[in-house]
Structure 1
Amino acid sequence: MFDIPGVKNSYMHPRIVAFIPAHNEEKSIFDCLAGIGDQVLPKGVELDVIVIADNCSDRTEEVAIEAGKEFNLNLVVLKTKNNKQRKVGALNQAWKNIYGDNLDIYFRELTPFQELYKQSIKAILGMDADSRLAPNALTQLWDGLMSSRNIGGVMAKYTMRMPKKKSLISKNDINYEEKLASGDYGGPLARWWTHQQKQDMASWLLDLQYNGGSTYVLGGQATLFRPEALQDIVDDNKLDGPWQDESDVEDMLLTWQLQKSKWKTLISPKARCFVDSMKSYHTFRQQRNKWQSGTVNLLTSSDIGVKTRHKGKLWRSQAKSFMDLTVRLLFVMLLTVSLATDQFFWSWIWIIPIGLASILNTILALKTPMHRPIDVVFAALLISPEIYLWANLITFLQVWIDRLSSSKKDGWANQYNAENGKTSSKLIHGIITMMLFITLIVFLCIHYREFLTSEPVQLALHPYLMTGWITLTYLTIFASILMVYQIWTLRAKHTA
C-alpha cells in the first residue's frame, strides 16, 4: 500500500481512483493527465490518480510526475514488477496495492488508515494512457454510476481524434520528423482512415443507445467502475484481481463477468472520451484482428465459463458479416461468369439496395461527431463504406479460419509490433496479386470468348446462374430490410 499525497489519516472524503496503465507512453501520458486535470469533480468527491508504469524503457514515469505537479493532481506512479500479463497485470497490480493480494503467502492485515482509504473509494476509473476525457466527462460518468445501486460500470462515448493536416508542418521545421511520428499529424489517407473508424464507432454507439444503453463491453479507454462490482468478480471467480488475461479482449471478458454477477453495464449518454485511431491499414488490421479474435473466442470457448446477455446480438453481428461477405463474393462470381458467357442482364430493381445503403451511410456520416463535408460525400457515394467494409470482412474471414484451424495468435503482441513499426503491411502485395489475378481472368475470358459464348456452354451454365442470382436476390432483399430497419431507428435523437 502506498500513501496518496494530501490524504489525511482521520477522515476521508469519498473519492474516485483512476488506474492508468502505461507502457512506454511518454508521448501521450501528459495529454491524458491534462484531460484529468480539466475535470470538475462531483461535489464533495476527491480524485486520486495512479499511473502504472509497466516495464517502461522511456520517460513515462518522469513525464507523469511532471504532469501531476503541473495539473495539481494527487498522483503516484506505481512501477510493475515481473509483469508478464501486460495491461491486465498492470491493472491488477494497482488493484492489489489497495485491496490486498490474495496470492501473498503472508497475511497482512490492513492498517486503520489503509482500511479507511479503501472504504472511501466509491468509483475506479480505468483509462488508457493515450485517451483524453472531455471536460465534465468524469462528473457525467459519476452521475450515471450513482444513478442506481445495481450499475457496475459506465463507459464514456469514444470519438477518434482526427490528425491535423500534415501540410501544416513546415518541412523546414527542425522537429518535422518528430511531429510526424507523434501521430498528431497525418496525410489525406490517414485522416480519411481515421474518419472511417470514427463513423464505425459512432454507428456502434448509436446502436447501443437505441437498445437501452446496455453494452457488452466496457471499453478500457475510459470506464468508471463500482469497486464492489469488481470485488464480486474477484470473489466469485477466486481471482487475485478483476482483470484476466484469458482473452485478447480483457475489457469484454470483465464486462461479461460483471453481468454474470447481476451488475448492469451501461454507456453514458453524455460523457465523451477522445481516443487515438489506427492511422494505417496495417495497424488497423492488427487491432481489429485482436478485437474480432477475442470476441469469437469468448463466443465459442466453453472453458471460460461466462456468457453475456448480449450473446444473441454478437452472434447476429457475426452472421451479418458472413452474409455481407457471401453477397459480395457471390455477386463478383456471378457477374464474372455472366459477362464471360454473354448472359448478363441489367435490372433497375438493383438500384434499391444501393440507394438504401447510400441513405444509411449518409445519415451515419452526418451523425458522426466533427464530420467533414468530404466524408459525407464519400459516404453517400458508398466509396468509403465499401472499402472499409472489405477491410473488416478480410479480418472476419481470417479470424474464423484461424479459429476453425485452432491457430492461436498473440493479438496484443501483434498490435504492439504493428504500432511500433516492427512489422509491415502486406497490403501492396495483396493488391498486386489481385490485379494480376483479375488480369489473368480477363485474358482467359477474351481468349476463350468464342467457346464461353457457345450455346452448349451457355445452356450448361444457365441453371446454375439462375440459382445463384435467385439466391443473391433473396439475400439482398433481407439485407435491404435490415437497412430499412436501421434507417428507421436512426430517426431517434440520440447522439454518437
Structure 2
Amino acid sequence: MVTPLTGPDSGRHSYDELAPIEQHLGFADDFAAVLDDTTAHRSTIGCVIPAYNEEDSIAGVISSLLAQTRVPDVIHVVVNNSTDRTVRVASQFAGPHEITTDLGEQFTEVFVHDIGKNPDKKVGALNYGYALVEGYDYLLGVDGDTVADRRAVEYLETEAVSDSRIGGISAIYSIDPAPITGAIARFLTAGQRTQFAAFNLQNLLRGRNMAVLGGQFSIFSTTALRAVIKENHQRTPWVRDSEVEDSLLSLQIKSAGYLTKISPYARADVGGMTTLRAYDAQQVKWTYGAIELMWPGQRGDTKGQPLHPNLRLRWFENFGMLTNLFVRIAFLTLLAGSLSINAFVFSPWWLLPPLVAVLLNVRIAMTMKDRTAGDVFFAALVVPAELFMWIRLSHFMRSWFRFLSRKKVDNWAMQAKAEKGGGSTHWIPMVLLLVVLVGLAVAWNLLGPVAQSSVLWVGWPVVGLVTVAQTVLMIFKLLRRHQGYRV
C-alpha cells in the first residue's frame, strides 16, 4: 500500500461543525446513524482524475479536493490525448500537501501523469490510475471538470466503510449555473439541471440504489473492483466494450453481489454542455451505450443484459421517451388534419396533461437544494420544458437509428469533435421530423373525405387513451412523498 508523503503546507482550512442530523429529517435512519461520532479516517482513498483537454477546469477540481474535510490520501491526475495546457496547469499542484481540517492533520500528495496518446481514452486513463491505487481501500473517481462540495469525500467514505456490501457510491450531481452566459447555454444548463434532479430523485426514492455510478464523482471499493475483474475474466475494472463504461462497471459490480448506492449528502457540480451540438453528442453516446446494454443478445463484445436490475430504470426511460414521441407527433398530425376539414372541437380536458406536467416539473425544481429562479421559471413556463423535451427526443431517435443501423461509429470521437464546435448531425432529427410531417400532410390531402374522417375517428381516441395513461402516471409521481430528499 502506498504511504502518503508529508511536505510543505499547501494551505490551512477551517470549516463549520457538522450540522445536526436532525436538520436532515426524512433521510433513512440507518444512514443518519452512520454519520454520528465520525471523527477520524477509517480507510485509505486513492483518487484518480482522468483528464482530457481540461486546462480551464483542472485547477478548480484539484483545489476542491485539497479543500475537502477528508482529503484523499493520494491524488493521481492522468492526462491522456490532450493537446492543451492541462499538464502544465495540474503540475502546479504536484507534490506533497499537509492540510489541517476539522478531522485533524491530513497529508496527501498530487501526482500528474501525462500518458500521451491513449487509444482507450478515458477508460485507459482510469485503468492506468487503478494500477496506481489498487492497494488502497477505495478508489475515488473524479472527472476533470467536476468540483465537489467540501464534505463530499467525507460523506462517501463514511457510508462506504459502514457496510462491506457497498461496492460503490455516487454523489448527487448538478451543474453550477453561475458562470454560464448566453441564452442557449443558460437554457441548456437549466434543462440539464432538471434532468439531473429528476434522475437523482428517482434513484434516491428507490432505496438509494444507483443504477449508474457516474464517473464524475464516485467512490469504489477496490475489493469490489477486484471481484469484477475476477468474475468477468478481465485484466482491468473498466473495459472499452461499451460507450458507457460507468454503466457497464455498475452492472458488473451489482452482478458481483455488491450494492451500488447514491449518497443523500455528497454533492458535486459537473461540467455541463453549453452548445446544442455538444449536448447532442454526449446524450447520443450515453443513450446508445445504454441501449447496447439493454439489448437482448450481444453486439460485439458487449453482452446485452435486458433483465439486469440496474437496467429497469433504463427500460422505463426509453418506453417513456417513445410514448412522448408518439403522443406529440400524433397530436400534431391529428390537430392539423382536424383543422384542415373544420372538424376540430376544443375540449378543456386537453389542458389537464400540460398542467399536471408543469406541476410535476415545478415540484422537481423545488427539490433542488441550490435551485435558482431560472430553474423555477424553466419548470413553470410550458415552452422551455417542451422545447427541451423535443431536443431530448431528437437524441432518443438518433441513438436508436444509429444502433439499429449497425453502423460502426466512434461516439467518443464524435463527442470530442462536437465539444470543439465541429459536426452538424444534431440537426438531422429536426430535418427528418419536418420531412415526416410534410409527408403526412401530402398523404392526408390524397385521402378522400370518408378516409380522413375514419382516421380522425380512430386516431383521437387512441391518442386520448395514451395521454390519459401518461397523465395518471404523472399524478402518481406528483403525489409521491419525497421523504425530505434534496437534489
The 8 Å contact of residues 293 and 303 in structure 2, kept in 1 or not, is answered as no
Question: How far, CA to CA, are the matches of 1:437 and 1:13 in structure 2?
Answer: 60
Quote the Cα distance in structure 1 between the aligned partners of 2:322 and 2:441.
28
Determine whether 1:467 maps to 2:458: yes
Distance 2:133 2:358 in 1: 52
Alignment pair present for 1:273 and 2:288: no
* Cross-structure match for 1:296: 291
- Structure 2 Cα separation of the partners of residues 321 and 4 of structure 1: 48
Pair 1:147-2:182 in alignment: no
CA apart distance, 1:430: 7.5
Q: 1:437–1:486: structure 2 CA closer, same or farther, 3 Å change rule? A: closer
> Map of 1:202-213 to 2, 5 A cutoff?
202-213=197-208
Instruction: Report the residue type matching 1:48 in the other structure.
Output: V
SS of equivalent residue, structure 1 residue 223: strand
Partner AA of 1:282 in structure 2: R
> Out of 137, 145, 155, which is 2:152 matched to?
137
Aligned to 1:115: none
Give the distance between the partners of 1:19 and 1:248, measured in 2 at CA.
20
Counterpart among 181, 192, 202 of residue 187 in structure 2: 192
Deviation of the 1:490 alpha carbon: 4.8
Partner of 1:396: 396
Distance 1:377 1:63 in 2: 38
Structure 1 residues 273-313: Cα deviation after superposition (integer angstroms, max 9, x where no partner):
11111001111110000000000011115333464313332
1:221 to 216, 221, 246: 216
- Paired residue for 1:50? 76
Percent of pairs identical after alignment? 28
1:432-443 matches, within 5 Å, as none
- Check conservation: 2:294, 2:304, Cα contact below 8 A: no
Residue 367 of structure 2 is aligned to residue 367 of structure 1: yes
Shift of the 71–439 alpha-carbon distance from structure 1 to 2, 3 Å rule, reads farther
The answer to whether the 8 A contact 2:228-2:252 is kept is yes
Residue 489 (structure 1) aligns with:
480
Pick the aligned partner of 2:142 from 122, 127, 143: 127
Q: 1:470 to 1:373 in 2, by over 3 A?
A: same
CA–CA separation in structure 2 for the residues paired with 1:60 and 1:3: 26
How far does residue 240 in structure 1 lie from its aligned partner after superposition? 1.5
Q: Tell me if structure 2 keeps the 8 A contact 1:78–1:94.
A: no
Segments of structure 1 that go 5 or more residues without pairing to the other structure are 100-117, 165-184
Look up the equivalent residue of 1:66 and give its one-letter code: Q
Q: Is the 8 A contact 1:96 1:240 kept in 2?
A: no
Give the counterpart of 1:26 among 27, 45, 55: 55
Is the alpha carbon distance of 1:246 and 1:328 closer, same or farther for their aligned partners in structure 2, counting shifts above 3 Å? same
Partners of 1:32 and 1:130 within 8 A in 2: yes
Aligned to 2:14: none
| CA contact 1:286–1:418 (8 Å) conserved in 2 | yes
SS of structure 2 residue aligned to 1:146: helix
Which residue does 1:480 correspond to in 2?
Answer: 471
- The one-letter amino acid of 2:241's match is E
Which of 29, 36, 41 matches 2:65? 36
Distance 1:151 1:33 in 2: 26
Task: Return the letter of the residue paired with 1:398.
Answer: R
- Report matched runs for 1:418-457 at 5 Å: 418-424=418-424, 427=427, 457=448
User: What is the Cα deviation at residue 345 of structure 1?
Assistant: 0.9
**CA-CA distance at 1:25 after TM superposition:** 1.6
Aligned length: 440
Query: How far off is 1:410 after superposition?
Result: 1.3
CA offsets 1:401-430 (integer angstroms, 9 cap, x no match): 222221232111111111112334654x87
3-state SS of paired residue (1:271): strand
Rounded Cα–Cα distance in structure 2 between residues aligned with 1:142 and 1:85: 29
Larger Rg: 1
The question of whether the paired residues in 2 share the 8 Å contact of 1:281 and 1:425 is answered with no
Cα shift at 1:226: 0.5
Shift of 1:244: 0.8
Q: 2: CA distance between counterparts of 1:227 and 1:141?
A: 14
What does residue 409 of structure 1 align with?
Answer: 409
Secondary structure of the corresponding residue to residue 473 of structure 1: helix
Deviation per CA, 1:428-471: give whole Å up to 9, x if none.
x87789789989999999xx8xx99xxxx433321221110010
d(CA) in 2 for partners of 1:258 and 1:229?
Answer: 6
* Residue-by-residue CA offset, 1:23-73 (whole Å, 9 max, x unaligned): 22222111000110110128xxx6100111213333322221212459654
- After superposition, what is the alpha-carbon deviation per residue over 1:287-345, rounded to whole angstroms, capped at 9, x for unaligned? 00000000001111533346431333221221111111000111011011111111111
- Classify the secondary structure of the residue corresponding to 1:343: coil
Residues 189 and 370 (structure 1 numbering): CA distance in 2 closer, same or farther, change over 3 Å?
A: farther
Amino acid at match of 2:128: Q
Partner of 2:124: 89
Shift of 1:141: 0.5
Q: How far apart are residue 491 of structure 1 and its match? A: 4.5
Q: CA deviation at 1:203?
A: 0.7
2:248 alignment partner AA: L
Q: 1:466 to 1:377 in 2, by over 3 A?
A: same
- For 2:273, the aligned partner's letter is M
Judge conservation of contact 2:81–2:118 (CA < 8 Å) in 1: yes
Larger deviation, residues 196-205 vs 418-427: 418-427
Aligned-residue offset at 1:488: 1.5
Residues 201, 490 of structure 1: alpha-carbon distance in 2 compared, 3 angstrom cutoff: farther
C-alpha distance in structure 2 between counterparts of 1:14 and 1:372, whole Å: 37
Q: Displacement of 1:143 after TM fit?
A: 1.1
Instruction: Find out whether 1:77 has 2:106 as its counterpart.
Output: no
Residue type matched to 2:113 in 1? L
Shift of 1:398: 1.4
Question: Aligned AA for 1:140?
Answer: Y
CA distance in 1, matches of 2:231, 2:304: 12
Residue identity matched to 1:464: V
Change (3 A) 1:491 1:28: closer
Q: CA RMSD in A?
A: 2.8
Kindly state the Cα deviation for residue 373 of structure 1 after the two structures are TM-superposed: 2.4
Structure 1 residues 391 and 370: alpha-carbon distance in aligned structure 2, compared to 1, 3 A threshold: same
Task: Give the C-alpha shift of residue 265 in structure 1.
Answer: 0.2
Q: Give the AA of the match of 1:390.
A: W
Q: 1:377 to 1:209 in 2, by over 3 A?
A: same
Q: Is the 8 A contact 2:80 2:117 kept in 1?
A: no
Please report how far the alpha carbon of residue 201 of structure 1 lies from its aligned counterpart in structure 2 after TM superposition. Answer: 0.4
